[in-house]
Amino acid sequence: MWKQVGEREVGKLKPHSFANRIKSNRISSLQLSNHKEIVSAHRGAVNSLQVDLTDGRYLLAGASDGSAAVYDIQCAARYEGGGLVAKHESIFVVDKQHEQGHKYAVSSAVWYPIDTGLFVTGSFDHYVNVWDTNTTQVVMNFKMPGKVYRTAMSSVAKSHMLIATGTEDVQVRLCDIASGAFTHTLSGHRGKMMVSGSTSNSIPGSQSSFPKARMLHKKAAYGNGTKHTSTTHKNKGSTSQRLHPGMLSSHDRATAHYGAVIGLKVCEDSMYLLSAGSDSRLRLWDIESGCNTLVNFEATRLQTSKGIQLAVTQGSSLVFVPCMSAVKAFDVWSGRTFLTFRGHYENVNCCWFSSQDQELYTGSNDRQILVWSPSRSVHAEVDERGGEALMSTSDQDNWSD
């Protein structure tokens, strides 16, 4: 560490490289936090997590009890254990008791990308609600033809305010916050739908209970109906034997997974797409060519009963995947297991990686939200209430007064 600081001071190490090394070291030391806890306000499985993209301060969570809650992950509500354990409670909760709350499970909760004044929730009650954060009131809602499984928004789009929604219907619908109407209906799947957000100025990718994944190009958002798929269609009437997707047979390129696609995540540069299937396989796709990159991810076991939320690190070097009651971090380019996180008692449904603090947040059927933080090399904690630092013995001198 200090060697790198010295190299940075004399100019041998560039600032960007220095920052990346520090972040990599912090990520490699992630463990269940012993100084930071989220006090869950949910009485059902946690299905969705997202830290806001503007301040990196507010964690939004949606749960199967119909509740959505916001937590301040930087300022604790109280401290325990002699001031060493920070307890982060919910700032507010909207649930079934709220006059405009969802009646059934909240399957997806996302922040409005450029302002924490709005957030969006999707529910099994067939509604997508747009909430005013300050008043906790619904300012707009969209009625869907079936259960809403996932919602997504582009984090960099400047020309539209579209919400992509995946439901049990076979179509992706784009909801416009500005007009309160559906702008586009995108067809292409044969099963219930989920979507995943992208960092490019495009419509998110979509997934289905049918074993295909599709990328919907930004041109489709402007009305010409262009659609790019991650695979090509199988020739009609072909009787060839089904081959492994990685072999990319000219007769069978339509299958991404031998089972439902349960999770999608677009990499930070929007050049690659990660997909997870109920066949317990992970795939890395080149979005431009639609080809499987043939990265051989190590064997794992994924749940098949519901969709999962994947997360990637800044630079997309690692992908965090809920694997039953654990979360595994895989190297995106080699497929090797980098870290395994165990702490939940039931299946993990979602995870979110905060690039600002290099922290991982996970939600599970056990109703808990766990925080995974970099280990602290110096055992010094600051009591923010008193402003005094509790120093470790290694930092104390033996001089007498």
Q: Could you read off the pLDDT of 31-90 as tens digits, one per residue?
A: 999 999 999 999 999 999 999 999 999 999 999 999 999 999 999 999 998 889 999 999
pLDDT at 379: 42
Least confident of 42-51, 146-155, 207-216, 268-277: 207-216
| pLDDT band of 376, cuts 50, 70, 90 | confident
Q: What domains lie within the chain, and their CATH numbers?
A: 38-154+161-198 (2.130.10.10), 258-376 (2.130.10.10)
Task: Please spell the DSSP secondary structure of 209-239, one letter per residue.
Answer: SSS-EEE--GGGGGTS---EESSPPPPTT--
pLDDT of residue 277: 92
Q: Which two tokens stand for residue 238?
A: 């072909």
- Phi, psi of 7, rounded to the nearest 5 degrees: -65, -35
307-352 confidence digits (pLDDT tens): 999 999 988 899 999 999 999 999 999 999 999 999 999 999 999 9
Please report which confidence band the pLDDT of residue 191 belongs to, taking 50, 70 and 90 as the band edges.
low
- How high is the pLDDT of residue 9? 76
Residue 182 pLDDT more than 70? yes
Question: Beta strand 359-364 with 369-374: parallel, antiparallel or unpaired?
Answer: antiparallel
Read off the pLDDT band of 362 (50, 70, 90): very high
| Of the candidates 140, 144, 256, the residue with the CA atom closest to the CA atom of residue 192 | 144
**Confidence (pTM):** 0.80
159: left (phi > 0), else alpha (psi -120 to 50), else beta?
alpha
- pLDDT, tens digit (0-9, with 9 covering 90-100), for 100-130: 999 999 999 999 998 999 999 999 999 999 9
pLDDT of residue 398: 52
Q: Say which range, 147-161, 258-272, 293-307, 378-392, has the weakest mean pLDDT.
A: 378-392
